Amino acid sequence: MCSRQIARSLSRALMSRPFTPSVNIARLKESATLAVAAKARSLRAQGIPVIDLGAGEPDFDTPAFIREAAAAAVEAGATRYTATEGIPALREAIAADANRLLPSGAEPFTGAQVVVSNGSKQSLYNACVACFGPGDEVLVPTPSWTSYYEMLELARATAVPVFGTAAQGLKVTAEQLAAAATPRTRGLMLNSPCNPTGAVYTRAELDAILSLADQHGWWVISDEIYLRIAYDAPATSVLQCAPARDRLILINGVAKAYAMTGWRIGWSIAPLEVTRAMIAVQSHTTSNPAAVSQHAALAALTRVDDANAAIDAMVRAFHRRRDAVLEALGAARALAVHPAGAFYLYLDVSSFGGDDPGARFSAALLDAHQVAVVPGSAFLTPSWIRASYATTEAIAVDGVQRMVRLLAAGA
């Protein structure tokens, strides 16, 4: 064999070696919520009429005034890089939007504290890697959105699930958090209204949790992406609780309330030094979010009356669906967390038995009834399943009726 042949066969041998994931991602799991959405799409593409209650994505179109602003921005040249942290006008508009929630007399946020990102998911990731690292423990009220656990894993920190009880709508109390804390606890993830349960923390519950975090100097990462989507009463933001804000990172975005999932615009508001750290992270990973999307978000946040009218109409529709799916549940309603916000129904299917009743129920529901839902194991609570009613009322009710039939039939 000549040396060139030897080199070629060596490089072929190297290429055929199995991939060993790096230590960074060795334990990382793919997003279960996105995986269910992908599966539903692929079954539909094969002609199977799946009812998709998996994805947490509003079925509404982005309001017309936002789409028009985006089209005008492209024509006006919004096609280039922007500053990593976003265009100044949007950063200011985001600060102004948050300032509306602050108690009177509180020092307002400025645009300099804002980092605009490719969706609140990126902002949550930026915050986790900026604040936490190896040896740090972070309390995660559980069930929580699947990506919190994995983002903390990517930050090489330790997610410490703190389980809520069914009697308290799976919310956690300050006492439970205190009991789970150790000297290594560095922070806490908050999310109200909650994905996956739809539970909403009261002002008193948030006050108690924030004051505990303040006493211990914990970082609080508050994901308020569902804040505007609440039914029984307006949801409380941590900003209304007037906490010490030197350890608070507020996360929000336009995806859910403004029906702008595909535009990928989220943001963080944080103390300046944390903001600088998150800008550095983002500067080396994605740079700025899409210029056109930033202009769309700018219209959403600055044309306040138009936006409020659009959001109110969408929330009224979600509210009707929430009521309709609760009615469709009938007696099985006793198995659900009361969905006071977001657009999820969280249902106890432990009657299906086994180690992972939620996975058994979800698989049977898809096979026998063509309804896609997310197994609760994605949120570390395998006895449950999550169904999203961010779809038409008729489809949501049809899907829930099929769930009820399966529950009645048993495993």
- 34 vs 324, beta carbon nearer ligand GLU: 34
- Rounded least distance, CB 54 to ligand GLU, Å: 7
- 144 vs 158, beta carbon nearer ligand GLU: 144
- 174 vs 325, beta carbon nearer ligand GLU: 325
Return the sign of the alpha-carbon dihedral for residues 201, 204, 209, 214. Answer: positive
- Rounded least distance, CB 183 to ligand GLU, Å: 32
- 361 vs 379, beta carbon nearer ligand GLU: 379
- 145 vs 389, beta carbon nearer ligand GLU: 145
- Rounded least distance, CB 204 to ligand GLU, Å: 27
- Rounded least distance, CB 110 to ligand GLU, Å: 29
| Structure tokens that stand for 279 in this block | 């800008």
In the bound state, the residue with its beta carbon closest to ligand GLU is: 56
Residues that bind ligand GLU (CB under 6 A): 31, 33-34, 55-57, 121, 145, 147, 195
Q: Considering only CA atoms, which of 346, 342, 318, 344 is closest in space to residue 334?
A: 346
- Rounded least distance, CB 184 to ligand GLU, Å: 28
- Rounded least distance, CB 145 to ligand GLU, Å: 6
> Which residue(s) pair with 223 in the sheet?
191, 251
- 208 vs 255, beta carbon nearer ligand GLU: 255
Residue 285: exposed, middle, or buried by beta-carbon count in 10 A (0-12, 13-18, 19+)? middle
- 35 vs 89, beta carbon nearer ligand GLU: 35
- Rounded least distance, CB 402 to ligand GLU, Å: 20
- 113 vs 391, beta carbon nearer ligand GLU: 391
d(CA 132, CA 266): 20
- Rounded least distance, CB 257 to ligand GLU, Å: 13
175 close to 228: Cβ distance less than 8 angstroms: no
- 218 vs 379, beta carbon nearer ligand GLU: 379
- Rounded least distance, CB 411 to ligand GLU, Å: 26
| Structure tokens that stand for 125 in this block | 């990731």
**C-alpha to C-alpha distances, 309 to 304, 306, 313, nearest whole angstrom:** 9, 5, 6
Residue 302: exposed, middle, or buried by beta-carbon count in 10 A (0-12, 13-18, 19+)? middle
Side-chain half-sphere exposure of 385, counting CA atoms within 13 A: 31
| Structure tokens that stand for 214 in this block | 């303040």
